[in-house]
Structure 1
Amino acid sequence: MDVVSSLWEQVSATSPPLPLWLLVLTAALAAALVLSPTLWQRARHSVTIAHEGAHGLAALVTGRRLAGIRLHSDTSGVTVSAGRPTGPGMVLTAAAGYTGPALFGLGAAALLAAGFAIGLLWALLLLLALLLVQIRNWYGLWSVLVTGTLVFAATWWLPAVGQSAFAAGVTWFLLLAAPKTVLELQAKRRSGTARDSDADQLARLTGLPGIVWVAVFLLVDGGALLLGGWWLLRDTAPL
């Protein structure tokens, strides 16, 4: 019980706000990961984890049975769930992929704004552990384990300020990366290489054109970026 109590005290501990310069630095580093073609090729795997995890979470919440998740080396992924092939549950599951990373980022921004940077890192570890048991291929297993190891290292070894800065960097990355993946999706749709994308699946499910769903994705992701960014910058510490 002492161990559990000690762990809970650590997870629920609040951290002081980061100074503005450090928060801006974490945003700049996250933007570099998103905007640099070389860095993006590697960093995008993390977005795929969030994307497929969001599909899986939406499937479970809507009562579908999650059959497994696969992550591939080309940054693509597949989430398989069983249930009705049409209806609200299937629509929400399909729509969760391109909005999930932004909504995860928005939730992370809310936790950071409330001072729960350490709690956020432990929440990420828990979500990755839950995702791990649903992975059905070796590359996916490797990808989630590497990501989890990085988050665990930050949680276990960084000082308090370092943990807050790392948590802020992850949050900025999710918020900034989500809209870029939607733009990439539309570029592939225009070139005819994404005929079975989430947007096109939603078009078949709802009758609304795929471009409408792309716009919905961008609206959600852009709104999350603006709101999450405001939450992060609202209560920064003095320089």
Structure 2
Amino acid sequence: MGGVSEQAVGDSERATQLTLKIWHPNCWTLETTAAVDAGLIAHSVHEIDDMVNARVTAYADEHDHIDALVTEIAESELTERVERVHNYFNPNLGTEAAGNVTEELLVRYEPANSIHDAFLSRGFIPDEEIRISDGYEYWTVIVTASRQTIQDRLDEVRRKMDAEITVQGMKSPATESAVSKTRDRLSERQREIFELARRRGYYSWPRETSATELAEELDITKPTLLEHLRKAEAKLLDPEF
């Protein structure tokens, strides 16, 4: 599992942004997105009458994948109810960039297995909406603490929730770059596919993988993969795209 790099005990406190990849057991978002080719974006989570009510966007390449995800959520033993929501309740969520097909959902479930409180109670403040895909949650959080304290708090969450937490990125305001800002403009699906292509060596020379192999790994067609990569590359190369 990834972690924050070691620092001296006297490391000073400062605001730090962390990008985290998270798995933990008994979580409906992880189990359902692992079962189907669709993802979720969590916009808001509120506890009402001892139950959690979450507003999420489901996104996928095809309508059938959204339907399959909704079915998985409805049939999960970890949820009480899922409701499809019409976009007119809040047309400003900006979810049109999430994927080729999106749908807003309200999901009601018990809070016992949620990892939110474990993070929030330790000073990790979400800086972006939480993304869930392929059985993992992706959090971007801000925390004001020394690096050693951050490491200790992450270890506490790991123990409390039996969680796997990988630190994929860490930066202070001084390290903010134009590249990271531009990458944030990618849709969820574009970012997932572009990052996978980058990790697999698609952009290396010579290439370490092919478009066909990436498409097979993602269980999508090669033309669909190339279209996602083309759009992602255009946005990364041209900030005005």
- Shorter-normalised TM-score: what interval? under 0.3
The two structures have a TM-score, normalised by structure 1, of 0.27
Q: Give 1 or 2: higher helix fraction.
A: 1
Q: Give 1 or 2: higher strand fraction.
A: 2
The two structures have a TM-score, normalised by structure 2, of 0.27
